[in-house]
């Protein structure tokens, strides 16, 4: 039987990270490769209580189909959590923020549409956009965010882009935080360019010393779609996210959502709405911040200790889950990976995160799932792999 695939199916790619993760499943490997939150942060007891209460008090409704917009109580809770005035009618509960990316892509991208992204950017967004066959263009940046001169140049270099996709807070993969000054200037530039912004913010609550500056959406609500998630503050297994859309776009996003899955699981929504009562996140999230900060510090200390003289450069993320590093000139992170895995440590090479010109020297290290002892051992192993690299190249 000869199946003929649609063009959009040809545009779909396997996630490079999944391929890397397969490598890390070998016993004894210390993995800095994954993008998973630490399971130690999952509030299992709170969910056990809420699960029982929802079934006891509301079981038949919780197990029934429900509205595509989401549970009214949860939509109110989400609106109240956000740091700018949001009408609950603008909140669409999604099946993870990954679904938000898919819905946005479906309603905004035609084949050949120009889509701008930070370079590097979140691989899962590139995967969500790819089936709509956009022309994706990367905008380079520095430690503070996208470079606005480059943005103006790229935006004006062809047909009006349909959107600019941004991660202002503790970006995946770089861990970078967009500064207040850059946010102001970016919103100004987006206004001038009439450029729609998609603001993806799964990591914003995971700050270590100070909360991040106000979201772009707070400054330009009519020109932004905001994506949020419960994955990093409660649990990714629930698949619960949300988007905040301007009133003019909301009906189309809702129709796309209905076509995709009718609604996000009613039961999960009720459980989370129950868990969130009485300010649960205000008590729970500080523990995640403290844990991740200690883990980041352990990784920074290990890098200082082990990498002296090896020419590796790295940043100091102020929140989130990832640290971004750059190998010395002449080295390629994809080629380093097998040497690292042989020595019992794994990371994700940075190249696939780049939409534009790829930098083979970059790599992403997650500091949240390994223990502090494993971080120390894993970074020492990584240093051994880096030392072995030139020898192997010369052989
Ligand atoms: C930047 C970014 N956006 C979206 C997602 C998807 O998250 P969710 O679990 O809410 O679908 C992730 C997951 O790692 C992410 O890193």
Cα within 13 Å of Cα(257), Cβ side = 29
- In this prediction, residue 25 has a pLDDT band, given cuts at 50, 70 and 90, of confident
Within the chain, all domains assigned CATH 3.90.1150.10 are found at 7-42+282-394
Instruction: Tell me the average pLDDT across 319-344.
Output: 95
Decide: 236 in ligand 1 pocket, CB within 6 A. yes
Decide: 353 in ligand 1 pocket, CB within 6 A. no
d(CA 131, CA 380): 41
Model confidence pLDDT, tens digit, residues 177-199: 999 999 999 999 999 999 999 99
- Closest to 184 measured CA to CA, from 168, 172, 200: 168
Decide: 35 in ligand 1 pocket, CB within 6 A. yes
Instruction: Tell me the average pLDDT across 134-162.
Output: 96
Closest atom of ligand 1 to CA, residue 95? 11
Quick one: pLDDT at residue 356? Answer: 74
Quick one: pLDDT at residue 27? Answer: 84
Considering the entire predicted model, what is its pTM?
Answer: 0.96
Quick one: pLDDT at residue 390? Answer: 76
**In sequence order, which ranges of the chain are alpha helices (DSSP H)?**
7-10, 16-23, 44-62, 72-81, 96-108, 123-129, 148-155, 180-193, 216-219, 250-261, 266-275, 280-306, 333-342, 372-394
Considering the chain, what is the average pLDDT of its residues?
95
What distance in angstroms lies between residue 305's CA and the mean position of ligand 1's atoms? Answer: 32
**CATH class, 7-42+282-394 region:** alpha beta
Quick one: pLDDT at residue 392? Answer: 55
205: CB partners within 8 A, 6+ apart? 232, 233, 281, 285, 288, 289
Quick one: pLDDT at residue 358? Answer: 80
Decide: 264 in ligand 1 pocket, CB within 6 A. no
Q: What is the dihedral of CA 111, 112, 113, 118, to 10 degrees?
A: 110
Closest CA to ligand 1's atom 5: 98
Within the chain, all domains assigned CATH 3.40.640.10 are found at 65-278
Q: Which two tokens stand for residue 221?
A: 């609500």
- In this prediction, residue 26 has a pLDDT band, given cuts at 50, 70 and 90, of confident
Report CA 145 to chain centroid distance, whole Å.
15
DSSP label of 328 = P
Quick one: pLDDT at residue 391? Answer: 61
- How large is the C-alpha radius of gyration of the chain? 21
Mutate to test the pocket of ligand 1, among 96, 121, 173 (most ligand atoms within 8 A of CB): 96
Checking if the pLDDT of 53 tops 90, the result is: yes
What distance in angstroms lies between residue 98's CA and the mean position of ligand 1's atoms? Answer: 6
Instruction: Tell me the average pLDDT across 97-110.
Output: 98
Decide: 94 in ligand 1 pocket, CB within 6 A. no
Q: What is the dihedral of CA 44, 49, 54, 55, to 10 degrees?
A: 100
**CATH class, 65-278 region:** alpha beta
Closest CA to ligand 1's atom 6: 98
Decide: 241 in ligand 1 pocket, CB within 6 A. yes
Q: Which two tokens stand for residue 163?
A: 């959107």
Mutate to test the pocket of ligand 1, among 100, 229, 320, 321 (most ligand atoms within 8 A of CB): 229
Model confidence pLDDT, tens digit, residues 301-316: 999 999 999 999 999 9
284: CB partners within 8 A, 6+ apart? 43, 46, 233, 234
Mutate to test the pocket of ligand 1, among 17, 42, 123, 172 (most ligand atoms within 8 A of CB): 172
What distance in angstroms lies between residue 387's CA and the mean position of ligand 1's atoms? Answer: 34
Quick one: pLDDT at residue 229? Answer: 98
- In this prediction, residue 394 has a pLDDT band, given cuts at 50, 70 and 90, of low
Decide: 167 in ligand 1 pocket, CB within 6 A. yes
């Amino acid at each position: 039987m000869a199946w003929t695939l649609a063009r959009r199916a040809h545009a779909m790619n396997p996630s490079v990270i999944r391929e890397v993760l397969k490598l890390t499943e070998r016993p004894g490997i210390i993995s800095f490769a994954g993008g998973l939150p630490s399971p130690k942060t999952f509030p299992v007891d709170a969910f056990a209580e809420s699960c029982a209460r929802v079934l006891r008090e509301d079981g038949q409704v919780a197990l029934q189909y429900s509205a595509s917009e989401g549970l009214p109580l949860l939509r109110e809770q989400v609106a109240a959590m956000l740091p700018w005035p949001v009408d609950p009618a603008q909140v669409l509960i999604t099946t993870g923020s990954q679904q938000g990316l898919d819905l946005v892509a479906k309603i905004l991208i035609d084949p050949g549409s120009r889509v701008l992204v930070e370079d590097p950017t979140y691989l899962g967004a590139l995967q969500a956009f790819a089936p709509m066959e956009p022309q994706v263009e990367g905008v380079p940046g520095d430690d503070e965010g996208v470079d606005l001169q480059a943005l103006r140049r790229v935006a004006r270099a062809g047909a009006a882009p349909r959107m600019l996709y941004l991660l202002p807070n503790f970006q995946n993969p770089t861990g970078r935080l967009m500064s207040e000054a850059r946010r102001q200037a970016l919103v100004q530039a987006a206004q001038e360019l009439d450029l729609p912004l998609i603001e993806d913010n799964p990591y914003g609550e995971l700050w270590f010393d100070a909360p991040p500056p106000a979201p772009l959406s707070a400054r330009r609500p009519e020109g932004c779609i905001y994506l949020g998630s419960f994955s990093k503050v409660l649990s990714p297994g629930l698949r619960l996210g949300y988007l905040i859309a301007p009133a003019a776009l909301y009906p189309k996003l809702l129709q796309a959502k209905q076509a995709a899955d009718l609604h996000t699981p009613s039961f999960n929504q009720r459980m989370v709405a129950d868990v969130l009562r009485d300010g649960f996140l205000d008590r729970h999230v500080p523990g995640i911040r403290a844990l991740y900060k200690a883990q980041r510090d352990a990784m920074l200390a290990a890098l200082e200790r082990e990498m002296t003289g090896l020419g590796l450069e790295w940043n100091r993320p102020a929140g989130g889950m990832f640290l971004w590093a750059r190998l010395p000139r002449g080295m390629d992170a994809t080629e380093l990976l097998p040497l690292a895995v042989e020595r019992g440590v794994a990371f994700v090479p940075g190249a696939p995160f780049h939409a534009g010109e790829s930098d083979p020297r970059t790599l992403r290290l997650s500091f949240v799932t390994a223990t502090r002892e494993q971080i120390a051992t894993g970074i020492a192993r990584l240093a051994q792999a880096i030392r072995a690299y030139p020898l192997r190249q010369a052989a």
